[in-house]
Amino acid sequence: MEIQENIINKVAQSGLISFDLADIYPAGERIVYDIKDNLFHGLILKEKDFREFIKQHDWTQYQGKHVAVTCSTDAIVPTWAYMLLANKMTPYASTIVFGSLETLETLILEKAINSIDIEKYKDERIVIKGCGDINIPVSAYVELTARLTKVAKSIMYGEPCSTVPIYKRKD
């Protein structure tokens, strides 16, 4: 007579909700537009030349992309120049920010996190997944934790089988 043991999946029975930031990671290529390429001798922006560039440039190449606009040289660039770029990219780009790729990534994910209906996590035990194929900035984990702390019963970090406790509401 064979005795068969049932394998019990304690993780599945735990009532934990796994939250993977990769699931809300916005699609689309991330690029930098460096205004240094529009500077005369890498130092100054000539308004007439820049406005001609604005008219002639193919803005459709930014379709669906997330764009960080910056100036990587130590030049004084008037604010209106960045505003013109934003104005022309807006019909095409998914996102436009002033700053680095890191700033862009932070703001894209912050927007995605802020669009989450956190009420569905009310009184839940949540594990925020920590590893994956997409490099998620720490800022996203901080933003998500700050939002979920308002409603969750508990928050953990890692995988359901191996977690680090972050928050537990005192009832």
Same domain membership, residue 16 and residue 40: no
The residue segments making up the domain with residue 163 are: 10-25+110-168
Question: How would residue 160 be classed by pLDDT, with cut points 50, 70 and 90?
Answer: confident
SS3 label, residue 75 = coil
Question: How would residue 4 be classed by pLDDT, with cut points 50, 70 and 90?
Answer: low
Average pLDDT for 119-139: 91
C-alpha to C-alpha distances, 39 to 36, 43, 66, 88, nearest whole angstrom? 5, 6, 23, 18
Q: The pTM is what?
A: 0.80
Half-sphere exposure of 90 (CA within 13 A, CB side): 7
Where do runs of H (alpha helix) occur along 10-46? 10-13
> At 168, which helix (H) or strand (E)?
strand 162-168
**Domain boundary at 68, 93, 118, which?**
93
Same domain membership, residue 137 and residue 120: yes
Per the CB < 8 A criterion, the answer to whether 162 and 156 are in contact is no
Domain membership of residue 104 (yes or no) is no
Residue 6 has pLDDT above 70, yes or no: no
Residue 3 has pLDDT above 70, yes or no: no
Name the one residue in this structure whose structure tokens are 């956190």.
118
Residue 10 has pLDDT above 50, yes or no: no
Sheet holding 30-34, edge to edge: 30-34, 66-70, 95-98
Domain count, the chain: 2
Residue 150 has pLDDT above 80, yes or no: yes
Per the CB < 8 A criterion, the answer to whether 24 and 134 are in contact is no
